Structure 1
Amino acid sequence: MSSEPPQTFAAGQHIGPTAGVSFLYHVWNRSEINEGETVPAAPLTCYGDMPQPVIRQDEQFPTPDEAKAFLARYFRFATPTYRFLHQPTVEHWMSQILAGSPLLMAEAACALLVCAQALLYSADGDRYKEGGDEELIRSRSYFDKAKALLNQEPGPATLASVQARLAVCLYLLCTFRINECRFCFSLACTISTSIGLHRKTSPSQKLDLVTLESRKRTFWCAYVFDNYLSVMLGRPRIFRDEDIDQQYPRNIDDQDLLSSESPEELPQHGNLEAFIAHAHLAKLMARNSDLLYPLRPLSEDQVFERTDQMLEAVYHWRQNLPDFLKPRDRTLAGQRTFERQNTVLKLAYAHLRILVTRRCLLMDFSQLGRSSSASEDGRAEKPIRECAAAIGTILHTTYELFQRGSMYQSFWVTHYVALVAISTLYVFMIQNSRSSIPAGLFPDIDVFFDKAQYCQAQLAAMTPDGSQARRHYNLLDRLRKRAEKDAGRVQRAGDRTPSMGPPSLVTNIYQQALATPVPPLANGHANADRRTSVSGEAGGSMGRPLHEIETYSTGTDVAAKDVTVTMVGQFTPSKDDYASQNLLDWGWENLDTVGFPGEGDLFDFQA
């Protein structure tokens, strides 16, 4: 492993070892393409995001019926685990706007942002063509009005000041504007600490119940955002656990949460289980970054010890989930809140398992355990199996969402974790062609390679031109071609047939995926019959950690392939191969969240 984590810079911005972009930009920097000529000029706070069209400013406020529909869509579907707004409070703010009554700027901004967010889920397909469809333009108009209000907001800061800016961040993530989101989020965090949201409220403050619980919800939602932005961009977290003693919110439904009530008199069975579980998972994500990606290099033993420690913590998190939230074999693709919550948590759980285990993916199996007892030789096998299972969960879930017409462009979590899974799979395949990895660690890898190509093509087609995400998918395609090339070279021992089919076959699969239309959503959203589960019982093999199951099920009709034969490289190295032959020396501190190395253009290959 390398002696220290890389210090990567792209367009003058630091990208740490946990970033989702460092390898992509290094490919660009070492190639003949000048990134500075590719990214359009833009203000500092949104540099790297796609340019925004000029939006008309004459958009009227929604009618009462529209406002009611927007509120329902927002709280039922658009924010499955980001419950920082209190629905009756927002309903009151909306009624004040419609009545023309005075309202604080931050409160009015929150109401407008709820409308803007709800409109992002009003239709499927590519909504960014020719400047955007009518509903997207309307959404942008409400968003711009809200931003204008926040830019004029006078002091002092209030809870609504933080909530409005978190709503802005959520909107920016859903519209492929992650760089602007990071700047806005930094301000939201500054305001939140200035009003003490990170600290437990003193009884002497005598806050009403709605305000007290809203403070908790707002802070823990910000905490979750902080951890995702940290691993997506490779930047340090803003919130540190040692500075926090804020309590988790009570599990009380919004309609039961009233200022005049005593918490002891309210039912503790609301819809915040997923919100609280996501906050717990974010704490594990922060812990994983600290343990497995420190500034100082880790020894091989330390990597295994810390990986095992984190896996146990992640297993414990899953066991504590209520049954309706536990990951399932098949995907809940309906419109009900608990279905969205289940899918989001399943993807988040699989994503963290990849982050926990991926450092073991590139261990040198020819050297592993050479200086240790024979019982330690298989230390990397469990983490790699776990990583493979997590990759499979994400690919299968994303594939099913596409097949059932339930994938929206605004599903930013799905876009991100799919990129993590696909790129990690490609790196595993390249490593697999260069060292003798024990057989059976990644069952049905050829099936998942096909799914990865399909999902990559569909996700890339959904990503608007000019966005950072589109540049990432374009560069990810170079990694796919490298994996595809190696797939044609890797053969089963004693069999001259490539394990994953000839390059022409896998290329055709990718091209077919690009040409395959995504099933449409009926009336702008999934059919009513999609509300029911397309899955079996909770806690199936795809959702369970590998220590609880014997084999990994793909959940597909594709016949299981024979994976009992050791995979070995059977080819004569080319000039390109010598450039990347020693994958074992990368070390995962040189790789970011999506499996891209942080130093050098290791995959600047010839076609």
Structure 2
Amino acid sequence: PPNATIFPPKDLMDTLLDLYFRHFAPFLPVLDRSSFEIAYKDGLHLRSIPFANILLLACAIASQYCDDPRVWLEGIGRPSAGWSYFMQVRDSTSRSYASATLLDIQSYVMIAYFLATSSRLHSAWTVVGMGIRSAQNIGMHRRKSRKESPLWKDEQHKRVFWCLIALDRHISSALGRPLVCKDEDFDLDYPLEVDDEHWGASVPDSSSAVTSRQHHGVPSEVSYLVASARLSQILAFTLSTVYSISKSKVVLGFEGDLWKQHITSELDSKMNKWFDAVPDHLKWDPSRQNDTYFTQSAILFASYYNLQILIHRPFIHPLNKHSPSLSICTNAARSCSHVVEILLKRSTQTPVFILSPVFNSGVVLVAAILSAKKDVTSVDSRANMKALELCMTFLERAQEM
């Protein structure tokens, strides 16, 4: 029963939940804060295993942003932050014939994220697959045919499914594994760019129509999820074309110099359109005051530069140090390092979504430095060395977290 679970003390619980909604929710908005807090205060976690799981997972994730030693396992320290809560999460869908609920699918997102931040990316990839299949089983991946205003429940489903898609594409590209869900497998609209506090009612009923809009002049934190979703669609197209296995390339005709020119040109065009469509509050600005928008922007543009690298990296010629693809990848890697440089100065956190872009940038910079080893004193070589040092510093900090 849920009451056998060991939850954090009340003071620590309140701190962790505040940290969760400040540091995690703006990037993967799987929970509505107002309805979640009402359920928590009503003691639902003492009666419901699925909600107890959600609460434990929120505490586990938030522990990574908390300096209170009570969130650590005894004798291990900071690397164990949150594991005492995570290990208590139970499978509420253990019967294979039981359809998952919204709470179950939300928990898949949170489990996958926690595993990804704990150097267990392979396990996270598997959990994301389970989450997507469970979501598809209840129709979460399909656009609703209603003509009236969308229901609050539908908006919650859209957010959660797009969070799963974002994780699927980020983790699959990092591991070099196939996507669980491709664009042709779902037709879901993007979430409405309306923050929780701007809905018409403080806690909408799951069947109530959404009539509220984001207040004029107030940027929405959900805009990040939408921009990330748009970028992930370009990533998915890249993985299914540039990185498809050789057999598929032969069958689909993805071969030859003309195809390479065509596909890189098409992908570059998609990237330019995405760049131009980024909302003003998410455009890269190192001096941006709002910390949430700054971090959202940093992750978006690190991901953007990483995707540039992924698009052009396969076309780098090892014997041609003047390869256009190498130049494009090197410039993207340097740009990513500039984002990292500001992050190192402004924040002690190392967002998990930036680790793969930073690693890929570092590899490209090493290749660029080696290709110019006879001219290590050039301006470009010095710039590449500085950028590489920034990437290494960021990864070293992440290792300590």
Fold match by TM threshold 0.5: yes
Q: Deviations over 1:247-282 (max 9, x none)?
A: 111111112332375433433763211110000000
Gaps spanning 5+ residues in structure 1: where?
Answer: 1-57, 367-377, 465-517, 519-607
Do residues 459 (structure 1) and 395 (structure 2) align?
yes
Contact 2:30–2:156 (Cα < 8 Å) also in 1: yes
1:426-445 equivalence runs, <5 A: 426-433=366-373, 444-445=380-381
Change (3 A) 1:394 1:123: farther
Partner of 2:35: 89
Gaps spanning 5+ residues in structure 2: where?
Answer: none
Partner of 1:557: none
Alpha-carbon shift at residue 226 of structure 1 (Å): 1.1
**One-letter amino acid of the counterpart of residue 354, structure 2:** T
Change (3 A) 1:132 1:397: farther
**One-letter amino acid of the counterpart of residue 234, structure 2:** L
1:24-63 equivalence runs, <5 A: 60-63=6-9
Structure 1 counterpart of 2:263, from 294, 306, 320: 306
Please, what is the CA RMSD of the aligned residues? 3.5
Change (3 A) 1:445 1:91: farther
Q: Which has the larger helix fraction?
A: 2
Change (3 A) 1:336 1:450: closer
Partner of 1:72: 18
**One-letter amino acid of the counterpart of residue 399, structure 2:** T
The alignment partner of 2:114 has SS state of: helix
What is the alpha-carbon distance in structure 1 between the residues aligned to residue 238 and residue 81 of structure 2? 41
Change (3 A) 1:445 1:131: farther
What is the alpha-carbon distance in structure 2 between the residues aligned to residue 302 and residue 289 of structure 1? 15
What is the alpha-carbon distance in structure 2 between the residues aligned to residue 154 and residue 87 of structure 1? 31
Partner of 1:248: 190
Change (3 A) 1:335 1:154: farther
Change (3 A) 1:390 1:131: farther
**One-letter amino acid of the counterpart of residue 131, structure 2:** A
Do residues 110 (structure 1) and 65 (structure 2) align?
no
1:125-524 equivalence runs, <5 A: 132-133=76-77, 137=80, 139-147=82-90, 155-203=98-146, 209-257=151-199, 258-259=204-205, 262-267=209-214, 270-294=220-244, 295=246, 296=249, 298-328=255-285, 330=286, 336-362=291-317, 365=320, 381=324, 383-404=325-346, 406-408=347-349, 411-433=351-373, 444-453=380-389, 455-456=391-392, 459-460=395-396, 462-463=398-399
The alignment partner of 2:141 has SS state of: coil
Contact 2:149–2:210 (Cα < 8 Å) also in 1: no
What is the alpha-carbon distance in structure 1 between the residues aligned to residue 356 and residue 45 of structure 2? 40
What is the alpha-carbon distance in structure 1 between the residues aligned to residue 75 and residue 308 of structure 2? 38
Change (3 A) 1:365 1:304: farther
Alpha-carbon shift at residue 331 of structure 1 (Å): 6.9
Alpha-carbon shift at residue 151 of structure 1 (Å): 5.5
The alignment partner of 1:246 has SS state of: coil
Q: More relative contact order in 1 or in 2 (CA 8 Å, sep 6+)?
A: 1
The alignment partner of 1:162 has SS state of: helix
Change (3 A) 1:96 1:80: same
Alpha-carbon shift at residue 138 of structure 1 (Å): 5.8
Q: Deviations over 1:540-598 (max 9, x none)?
A: xxxxxxxxxxxxxxxxxxxxxxxxxxxxxxxxxxxxxxxxxxxxxxxxxxxxxxxxxxx
Identity, in percent, stands at 22
Alpha-carbon shift at residue 178 of structure 1 (Å): 0.8
Contact 2:72–2:80 (Cα < 8 Å) also in 1: no
Contact 2:158–2:191 (Cα < 8 Å) also in 1: yes
Change (3 A) 1:67 1:256: farther
Alpha-carbon shift at residue 403 of structure 1 (Å): 4.1
Alpha-carbon shift at residue 419 of structure 1 (Å): 0.7
What is the alpha-carbon distance in structure 2 between the residues aligned to residue 110 and residue 325 of structure 1? 29
What is the alpha-carbon distance in structure 2 between the residues aligned to residue 324 and residue 81 of structure 1? 15
Change (3 A) 1:222 1:360: same
Change (3 A) 1:62 1:335: farther
Change (3 A) 1:84 1:327: same
Contact 2:5–2:88 (Cα < 8 Å) also in 1: no
The alignment partner of 1:232 has SS state of: helix
After TM superposition, the score normalised by the length of structure 2 is 0.83
Contact 1:331–1:401 (Cα < 8 Å) also in 2: no
Alpha-carbon shift at residue 187 of structure 1 (Å): 1.2
After TM superposition, the score normalised by the length of structure 1 is 0.56
The alignment partner of 2:82 has SS state of: helix
Alpha-carbon shift at residue 65 of structure 1 (Å): 4.2
What is the alpha-carbon distance in structure 1 between the residues aligned to residue 162 and residue 52 of structure 2? 23
Q: Deviations over 1:286-311 (max 9, x none)?
A: 11122322332632232222112111
Contact 1:199–1:246 (Cα < 8 Å) also in 2: yes
What is the alpha-carbon distance in structure 2 between the residues aligned to residue 153 and residue 391 of structure 1? 45
Alpha-carbon shift at residue 155 of structure 1 (Å): 2.7
